């Protein structure tokens, strides 16, 4: 009896050991490719990077020269997206966290946000084409593309901001209002400043996604090739992700080095955004007093 | 006087914020409206029987979207077969087994994968994955449904890992302690207690991961070969295929506004929208059911 029990325990422990090893191997097999991809891109892309590559216009049908207009274009699109989606997203999150009553309407708002988050990026492209490009007659432009990207980015910004606002203790609000501050004064002076790290994280993550997207800008603002930089929001623009798509599938005889160089620039951009997020988070964790 | 001003200002601000809150509903309705108004004319341009036939060849007026729908489903299924087991197991490992230092390495890596633009994955698919598959499996071309599935798996994994991991972390520690105190091993605790307790969160993670896969565009467009062939057997996995998303993305730029082709592309957009809506409704039902149960327990 005693020995049977003991051997059963031993068996379970052996199973546990085996299970843990298998899980460890599988999980590491899941993340190893990610590291491999990063090293691979850096290794093959680094030789292509030079000051000329990031600062010159493309030449010879994009087969030589730099990618400057694509970098500038992505920068414009990101700023344009931020101008619209950051204020609107934060305001919507304030409504949901501080004002919204528990009723059917609020439930519909939440359902709408979940829906927006799930809509495929190419469908956003169709919508942008229908509304901004054709109906509002903005044409294929930075404006149309930015507005399309903004709506796509909203759910990320709203949900992270709402979470950050809800994390601020209720007692802060109660004390502030009891001291005679109005609801808005409480939100503006007290709740928002406390929630800034969380909000920033959401904003950066949302914009990172927007900047890397191609499908929504395909028919709303991206240009195959432009000999000059865009000079108004109503111009079409080149953009890094779209440029990568173009040079890796649409242009025959594209030097491989330029392709890897472009990928590396995109990767560096993503890495920088991720590092910013990590820094905001750890800084906020260190400073938090509640 | 000053007090009055403050009160008016407060009113304006409250209204603005309220309107911003409602804006999400407005946007969903706008999206729906534009999809419907541009997509439903397809039903008048093209007879229904032809729309759901198996030949997609717009230049000659064949608008059968069946191969595209099935193409999307095949790639999504393939991606799920990869992403679901790997994603859930990785989440279990990170949440329950991995030592702290390994967690700190793995989490940012998964986040990095989530942040990689889909064109980057498509690019790697063209230059690395597809030649590899072509040579090892001895295929005529490496641009197949399988290539797309492998890469889309990589796109779904971060979603599945991070949401499942959250679900596992939300399981109260007392559950684990109770199980361990009864003499079960950690392994038995994980599969007998923790994972079942986090089941609805994990299911939701899977649904959202699948949702992302159906809607993914650039990667599939770059690596699946884009041949609108009706997949009929498992063999289709090793052949070129074309998804709904890739069709819209590659053809919308060349069609004349208002032509039948244009309307059909919007119609495909409606179909895609319905697919993702279905997935999301299932996912949010799972999560609200979970909420109700926990409310019952707490009350």
Contact B28 A20 (CB under 8 A): no
Q: Do A223 and A237 form a contact (C-beta atoms < 8 A)?
A: yes
User: What b/e sequence results for B53-86 when a residue is b if at least 16 CB atoms lie within 10 Å of its CB, and e otherwise?
Assistant: beebebeeeebbbbbbbbbbebbbebbbebbbeb
Residue B226 lies in a domain: yes
At residue A66, the pLDDT reads 81
At residue A91, the pLDDT reads 95
Chain B closest CA to A289's CA: distance in Å? 23
Report the SS3 class of residue B241. Answer: strand
Residue B10 lies in a domain: no
Contact A214 B217 (CB under 8 A): yes
Compute the mean pLDDT over every residue in chain B, rounded to the nearest whole number: 88
At residue B123, the pLDDT reads 92
Residue B38 lies in a domain: no
Mutate to test the interface with B, among A84, A87, A109, A119 (most CBs of B within 10 A): A119
pLDDT digits (tens, 9 = 90+) for A72-94: 999 999 999 999 999 999 999 99
Residue B61 lies in a domain: yes
Helices then strands, counting H and E runs in chain A, come out as 11, 2
Residue B3 lies in a domain: no
Chain B closest CA to A121's CA: distance in Å? 7
pLDDT digits (tens, 9 = 90+) for A233-266: 888 888 999 999 998 888 887 888 888 999 999 9
**Cα distance between residue B150 and residue B175, in whole Å:** 36
Residue B28 lies in a domain: no
At residue B206, the pLDDT reads 92
Nearest CA in chain A to B116: A270
- The pLDDT-based confidence of B298 (bands split at 50, 70, 90) is very low
pLDDT digits (tens, 9 = 90+) for B130-187: 889 888 888 888 888 899 999 999 999 999 999 999 899 989 999 999 999 998 889 9
Residues of chain B with Cβ-Cβ distance to A214 below 8 Å are 117-119, 217-218
Chain A closest CA to B156's CA: distance in Å? 12
User: Residue B294 above 90 pLDDT?
Assistant: no
At residue A81, the pLDDT reads 95
* Contacts A–B by Cβ distance under 8 A: 246
Q: Read off the CATH number of the domain in which B238 is found.
A: 1.10.3720.10
Chain A closest CA to B144's CA: distance in Å? 16
Residue A196: in which H helix or E strand, if any?
A: helix A192-212
User: Residue A183 above 70 pLDDT?
Assistant: yes
At residue B229, the pLDDT reads 81
User: Residue B299 above 50 pLDDT?
Assistant: no
**Cα distance between residue B180 and residue B187, in whole Å:** 10
DSSP symbol at B230:
P
User: Residue A208 above 70 pLDDT?
Assistant: yes
pLDDT digits (tens, 9 = 90+) for A124-152: 999 999 999 999 999 889 999 999 999 99
Chain B closest CA to A4's CA: distance in Å? 15
Instruction: Please indicate if any CB of chain B lies within 8 Å of the CB of A158.
Output: yes
Mutate to test the interface with A, among B8, B27, B129 (most CBs of A within 10 A): B27
Instruction: Please indicate if any CB of chain B lies within 8 Å of the CB of A122.
Output: yes
Instruction: Please indicate if any CB of chain B lies within 8 Å of the CB of A102.
Output: no
Q: Do B81 and B145 form a contact (C-beta atoms < 8 A)?
A: no
Report the SS3 class of residue A65. Answer: strand
* ipTM here: 0.89
Domain assignment of residue B66, given as a range: 44-298
Nearest CA in chain B to A116: B28
**Cα distance between residue B192 and residue B47, in whole Å:** 54
User: Residue B234 above 80 pLDDT?
Assistant: no
Global pTM reads 0.90
Q: Do A104 and B16 form a contact (C-beta atoms < 8 A)?
A: no
Residues of chain B with Cβ-Cβ distance to A131 below 8 Å are 30, 34
Q: Do A28 and B105 form a contact (C-beta atoms < 8 A)?
A: no
Mutate to test the interface with B, among A115, A124, A260 (most CBs of B within 10 A): A115
At residue B94, the pLDDT reads 93
Total domains present in chain B: 1
Which domains does chain A show, CATH number per domain? 71-267 (1.10.3720.10)
Helix boundaries (H) for chain B: 2-39, 41-45, 48-51, 66-92, 100-115, 118-124, 130-137, 145-169, 173-181, 186-189, 195-197, 199-215, 218-223, 244-251, 260-298
Question: Residue B68 to residues A7, B52, B154, B196: CA-CA distances in angstroms?
Answer: 56, 10, 22, 37
Chain B closest CA to A206's CA: distance in Å? 10
pLDDT digits (tens, 9 = 90+) for B33-78: 999 999 999 888 888 888 888 888 888 888 888 899 999 999 999 9
Residue B22 lies in a domain: no
User: Residue A30 above 50 pLDDT?
Assistant: yes
The minimal CB distance from A121 to the residues B120, B157, B215 is found for B215
Residue B13 lies in a domain: no
At residue A76, the pLDDT reads 93
């Amino acid at each position: 009896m005693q020995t049977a029990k003991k051997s059963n325990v031993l068996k379970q422990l052996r199973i546990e050991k085996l299970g843990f090893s298998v899980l460890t191997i599988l999980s590491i097999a899941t993340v190893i490719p990610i590291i491999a991809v990063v090293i691979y891109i850096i290794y093959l892309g680094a030789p292509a990077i030079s000051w000329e590559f990031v600062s010159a216009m493309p030449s010879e049908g994009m087969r030589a020269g730099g990618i400057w207009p694509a970098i500038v274009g992505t920068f414009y699109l990101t700023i344009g997206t931020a101008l619209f989606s950051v204020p609107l997203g934060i305001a919507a999150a304030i409504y949901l966290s501080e004002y919204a009553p528990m009723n059917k309407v609020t439930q519909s708002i939440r359902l709408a946000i979940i829906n927006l988050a799930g809509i495929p990026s190419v469908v956003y492209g169709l919508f942008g084409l229908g509304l901004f490009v054709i109906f509002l007659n903005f044409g294929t432009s930075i404006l149309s593309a930015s507005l399309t990207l903004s709506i796509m980015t909203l759910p990320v910004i709203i949900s992270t901001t709402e979470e950050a606002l809800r994390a601020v203790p209720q007692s802060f609000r109660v004390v502030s209002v009891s001291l005679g501050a109005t609801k808005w004064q409480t939100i503006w002076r007290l709740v928002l400043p406390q929630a800034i790290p969380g909000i920033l994280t959401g904003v950066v993550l949302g914009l990172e996604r927007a900047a890397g997207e191609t499908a929504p800008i395909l028919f709303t603002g991206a240009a195959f090739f432009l000999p000059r930089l865009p000079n108004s929001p109503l111009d079409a623009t080149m953009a890094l992700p779209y440029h990568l798509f173009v040079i890796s599938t649409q242009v025959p005889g594209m030097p491989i080095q330029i392709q890897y160089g472009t990928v590396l620039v995109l990767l560096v951009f993503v890495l920088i955004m991720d590092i910013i997020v990590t820094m905001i988070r750890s800084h906020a964790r260190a400073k938090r007093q509640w | 006087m000053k007090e009055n001003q403050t009160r008016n200002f407060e009113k304006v601000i409250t209204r603005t914020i309220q309107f911003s809150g409602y804006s999400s509903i407005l946007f969903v309705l706008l999206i729906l409206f534009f999809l419907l108004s541009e997509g439903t004319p397809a039903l008048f341009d093209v007879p229904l029987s032809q729309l759901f036939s198996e030949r997609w060849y717009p230049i000659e007026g064949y608008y059968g979207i069946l191969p595209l729908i099935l193409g999307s489903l095949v790639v999504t299924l393939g991606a799920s077969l990869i992403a679901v087991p790997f994603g859930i197991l990785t989440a279990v490992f990170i949440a329950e087994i991995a030592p702290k230092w390994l967690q700190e390495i793995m989490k940012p890596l998964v986040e990095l994968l989530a942040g990689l633009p889909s064109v980057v994955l498509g690019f790697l698919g063209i230059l690395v994955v597809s030649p590899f598959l072509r040579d090892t499996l001895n295929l005529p071309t490496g641009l197949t449904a399988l290539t797309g599935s492998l890469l889309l798996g990589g796109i779904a994994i971060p979603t599945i890992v991070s949401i499942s991991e959250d679900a596992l972390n939300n399981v109260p520690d007392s559950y684990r302690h109770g199980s361990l105190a009864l003499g079960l091993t950690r392994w038995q605790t994980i599969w007998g207690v923790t994972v079942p307790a986090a089941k609805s969160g994990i299911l939701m993670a899977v649904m959202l991961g699948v949702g992302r896969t159906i809607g993914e565009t650039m990667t599939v467009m770059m690596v699946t070969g884009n041949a609108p062939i009706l997949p009929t057997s498992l063999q289709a996995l090793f052949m070129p295929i074309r998804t709904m998303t890739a069709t819209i993305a590659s053809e919308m730029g060349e069609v004349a506004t208002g032509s039948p082709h244009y309307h059909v592309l919007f119609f495909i957009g409606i179909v895609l929208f319905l697919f993702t809506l279905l997935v999301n409704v299932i996912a949010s039902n799972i999560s609200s059911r979970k909420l109700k149960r926990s409310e019952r327990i707490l009350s």
